Amino acid sequence: MYTQTKDYPMYVAGEWSPGNSGARIEATSPATGEKIGTVPEGDRDDVRRAIDAANEAWPLWAALSAFERAATMNRVADIIEERREDLAWTLTLDQGKPLVAEAYDEVDELVAYFRMAASDATRLDGSMPPSVDAGKRVFLYRVPRGVVGVISPWNWPYTMPAELMAPALASGNAVVWAPASSTSVCAVKLAECIVDAGIPPGVFNMVTGPGSVVGDEVAANPGTQSVAFIGSTATGRKVAERAAGKALLLEMGGNGPMVVLDDADLDAAADASLVSAFLGAGQSCTAGERFLVQEAVHDAFLEKLLAAMDRETRLGDPFDPTTTLGPLNNEPTATKMDRHVADAVERGARLISGGARAEGFPTRLYYQPTILDGVTEEMLVAREETFGPIIPLTTIRDESEALRMVNSSPFGLLAAVWTRDLGRGLRFAESVRTGWVNINASTNHWESHLPFGGRAGASSGTGRVGGRYPMETFTELKTVILNLE
């Protein structure tokens, strides 16, 4: 047994609380099957109390200098560094990520988000445009909106909320956070770091509970002036409807097409495919979920892919330092993987490797790393976001066919292309309708200071996460005109 169970609280209005109703949600480890604790099953009254506290607290927080708020963000980062071991261990237990291969990295990136927000806040400046009247001066200030509602997913339970909360707090807003239910133990651990850094009461609030209740209230309540969401397209649309009229930042679904052209470095592309498909057990919005391979190199690429998978991928106990692939986080995700594989095989795809849940593990959430060949556009695995450890191969004639396939997809989040001809790669990148394109890198190559989000007209969201860019949503321009006479 890896841990003893504990009843964790939520954090509202400067106090740790069991919640209004006293009801609890049981947390079970996807890695071990053990009960690892309970969290409060928050209700709408809990959220309303948090929003009221946030609206009362944020003006005083906003009145501090950017450097004072930055100092608090850096204290959060210091505490995270001190608790690195516990945070990583909890992440593996609660979410399922391999401890050595992934969990420590997520904690380290969590530190980076708070330090980056601290720096960005001190550079959040306005401007002084000219007036038509020589006797007047115009000042444009960038000011906080007030209360930012944050709704975050379970696949990156530390960094995804942090890439929203850190810039929101650093730029002078208060936050009401609704974390995903299935990783709420991680959420409490992160909340402890923020609270212990000395953030004023009411400025930060965390309400655990069902998204349909807690998240819905965060989105719809008139007390949140901005709403930020990371998660599925279906849920994001509901959030957008409920938060209509507010400043929105929505980072939603993708299916990460990775295009391998006939002049690609196949060895490097095969290695990158493993990162694209298997990082986080494929449970990433940037995961490679469509592999479009030019027919001239299809057979050679598949051969190298199989060799790389045999060499590099190890499904196993996520606490084992040799494990690279851990369990899926929850049963609905595993069931979707089952359904997508079955649909593809039924429609004529060839199962090359995996395709089923692995036996001999503590839970049914361990899934074999899977390769499908002969995938066509009508298959679910090509049309939807699978969110599992799968490499679906589709043969293409040329790059124009790849562009047609990618640009006809409902998603527009990210794509990758592999070619030794950099001009060819750049032409592809400029033609493909996604918000981010990697040339000769995995779909999961990510740099946290850069703007990331979906292309307009797609089902992948609006606005940008990454670095200072969320501050453009969490603040607004205020115009002040001074009469000199």
Do 328 and 369 have their domain in common? yes
Beta pairing, strands 290-294 & 350-353: unpaired
415-459 per-position pLDDT tens digit: 999 999 999 999 999 999 999 999 999 999 999 999 999 998 899
352 SS3 class? strand
Do 348 and 471 have their domain in common? no
Q: How far is CA 191 from the centre of its chain?
A: 17
pLDDT at 158: 98
Catalytic residues: 251, 285
With beta carbons less than 8 A apart as the criterion, state whether 483 and 136 touch. yes
pLDDT at 3: 57
With beta carbons less than 8 A apart as the criterion, state whether 42 and 214 touch. yes
* 324 pLDDT higher than 60: yes
Neighbouring C-alpha atoms within 13 Å toward the C-beta of 367: 32
Do 267 and 402 have their domain in common? yes
Q: 184-196 and 84-94 helices cross at what angle (nearest 10)?
A: 160
* 244 pLDDT higher than 60: yes
Q: Which of 293, 307, 325 is nearest to 416 (CA)?
A: 293
Residues 6+ apart with CB under 8 A from 430: none
Buried b (16+ CB within 10 A) or exposed e, 147-160: bbbbbbbbbbbbbb
Q: How far is CA 304 from the centre of its chain?
A: 30
Residues 6+ apart with CB under 8 A from 134: none
The answer to whether residue 102 is domain-embedded is: yes
Do 414 and 313 have their domain in common? yes
Q: Residue 446 is which amino acid?
A: W
Report the number of distinct structural domains present in the chain.
2
Q: Residue 71 is which amino acid?
A: A
The answer to whether residue 455 is domain-embedded is: no
Say what the pTM is.
0.97
Long-range CB contacts (within 8 A, 24+) of 217-223: 217/44, 217/47, 217/48, 218/47, 218/51, 218/149, 218/150, 218/151, 218/176, 218/178, 219/149, 219/151, 219/243, 221/47, 221/48, 221/51, 221/149, 223/48, 223/51, 223/52, 223/54, 223/55, 223/147
173 SS3 class? coil
Q: What integer best gives the mean pLDDT of the chain?
A: 97
Angle at 254 between CA 247 and CA 332, to 5 degrees: 100
Beta pairing, strands 35-40 & 24-28: antiparallel
The answer to whether residue 357 is domain-embedded is: yes
249-268 per-position pLDDT tens digit: 999 999 999 999 999 999 99
Question: In this prediction, what percent of the chain has a pLDDT beyond 70?
Answer: 99
177 SS3 class? strand
**What is the C-alpha separation between 338 and 367, in angstroms, rounded?**
9
Do 303 and 245 have their domain in common? no
Q: What is the DSSP letter of 127?
A: B
Task: Give the pLDDT band of residue 5 (cuts 50, 70, 90).
Answer: confident
**What is the C-alpha separation between 256 and 254, in angstroms, rounded?**
6
The answer to whether residue 458 is domain-embedded is: no
Q: How far is CA 329 from the centre of its chain?
A: 14
The answer to whether residue 365 is domain-embedded is: yes
Query: What is the CATH number for 365?
Result: 3.40.309.10
Q: How far is CA 370 from the centre of its chain?
A: 23
Q: 84-94 and 104-121 helices cross at what angle (nearest 10)?
A: 120
Do 182 and 269 have their domain in common? no
**What is the C-alpha separation between 102 and 91, in angstroms, rounded?**
10
Q: Extract the tokens encoding 82.
A: 């001190």
Do 230 and 261 have their domain in common? no
* 105 pLDDT higher than 50: yes
The answer to whether residue 283 is domain-embedded is: yes
Sheet with 174-178: strands ordered across: 15-17, 10-12, 204-206, 174-178, 147-151, 226-230, 247-251, 461-462
118-130 per-position pLDDT tens digit: 999 999 999 999 9
Do 217 and 320 have their domain in common? no
Query: What is the CATH number for 62?
Result: 3.40.605.10
DSSP 384-442: S---SSEEEEEEESSHHHHHHHHHTSS--SEEEEE-S-HHHHHHHHHHS-SSEEEESS-
pLDDT at 1: 46
Do 199 and 267 have their domain in common? no
Do 149 and 196 have their domain in common? yes
Q: How far is CA 375 from the centre of its chain?
A: 27
11-68 per-position pLDDT tens digit: 999 999 999 999 999 999 999 999 999 999 999 999 999 999 999 999 999 999 999 9
Could you list the residue range(s) of the whole structural domain that residue 288 is in?
A: 257-450
358-400 per-position pLDDT tens digit: 999 999 999 999 999 999 999 999 999 999 999 999 999 999 9
pLDDT at 2: 54
The answer to whether residue 422 is domain-embedded is: yes
Do 186 and 273 have their domain in common? no
pLDDT at 96: 98
Do 271 and 166 have their domain in common? no
pLDDT at 141: 95
Beta pairing, strands 370-373 & 257-260: unpaired
The answer to whether residue 456 is domain-embedded is: no
